[in-house]
Amino acid sequence: MNSESNYLHSEMREKTGKWLAVNFLTGSRILLSAGLLPCILSGAPGRALALLAAIYGTDIMDGMLARRWSVASRTGAHFDLAADILFVVLSCSALVITGQMPFWFLFAAAFKFAEFAATSYFLSGSKVRLDPGSGRGFAEESRSPVFDTMGRLSGILFMASPVPSILMYLVLPLPAASILFTGMAVCTCGLSLISSCWRLYLCACAKEKDEPEKRALGDLLESR
């Protein structure tokens, strides 16, 4: 009995340690994002790109390790999303101040993240949730972030936007860099708009479902 109890305690400590390591990586992204701000504002593209590489590395590693170690959690998902939003807002704000990014792109990114948080909260809170990929209903109540394909792609492009912005203005003449980045920004915002319209449509569909349909579909799916 003691050996089994010790094993369980050891396993729990190991899992807790892994969970803390994953969230430490996510937290380090917040600190790195804060350190990125003065690098951009002071005109140090080399240091800024090095910090961006570290930020993207932590973003890849925390999710990969959470899945590999089976320590993924709703809290971790929200923490990861908050770190990503802070990074995008800080980096894009700095690039807007230095004239390397248009203000409307920062506004579009902020709007997309706000819409994503609101629609995720609404869609994940329903007893019958609509899958963003197919629009089909399934039973789940989790309050976890709800992703869709177009939204994921636009989120990746918003996250990656500081790199081409810095590189373009570093190696290209100002007019060419401005035109090239504007084209990329328009494509990103187009994908973001498609995603937002789809998610708002799903929210409208979920709201229109009356309570008897919700209960019937939820009971049917839970019984399987």
Shared-domain flag, residues 206 and 126? yes
Range of the domain at 5: 1-97
Domain boundary residue among 32, 67, 97? 97
Provide the pLDDT for residue 32: 95
Specify whether 74 is located in the same domain as 112: no
82 in the same domain as 151? no
Whether 80 and 136 map to the same domain: the answer is no
Which stretches of the chain score pLDDT less than 70? 1-10, 125-143, 208-224
192, 110 Cβ separation under 8 angstroms: no
Same domain, 82 and 105: no
148 plus 218 within the same structural domain:
yes
Burial class (CB in 10 A: 0-12, 13-18, 19+), 173: exposed
Instruction: Write down the pLDDT at residue 124.
Output: 76
Alpha-carbon distance of 171 to 97, in angstroms, equals 19
Same domain, 140 and 210: yes
Q: Is the pTM of this model over 0.85?
A: no
User: 55, 81, 97 — which closes off a domain?
Assistant: 97
Instruction: Look at the chain and report how many structural domains it folds into.
Output: 2
Residues 80 and 108 both lie in one domain = no
Biggest alpha carbon distance in the chain? Answer: 74
Rounded to whole angstroms, what are the CA distances from 119 to 55, 68, 135, 136, 201? 26, 28, 14, 16, 10
Q: Read off the tokens for 206.
A: 């979920």
Q: What letter does residue 70 receive in the DSSP assignment?
A: T
Tell me: do 221 and 153 sit in the same domain. Answer: yes
Do 117 and 211 fall within a single domain? yes
Residues 117 and 67 in one domain: no
* Structural domain ending residue among the three candidates 97, 124, 144: 97
Shared domain check, 192 and 134: yes
Report pLDDT digits (tens) over 107-128.
999 999 999 988 888 877 654 4
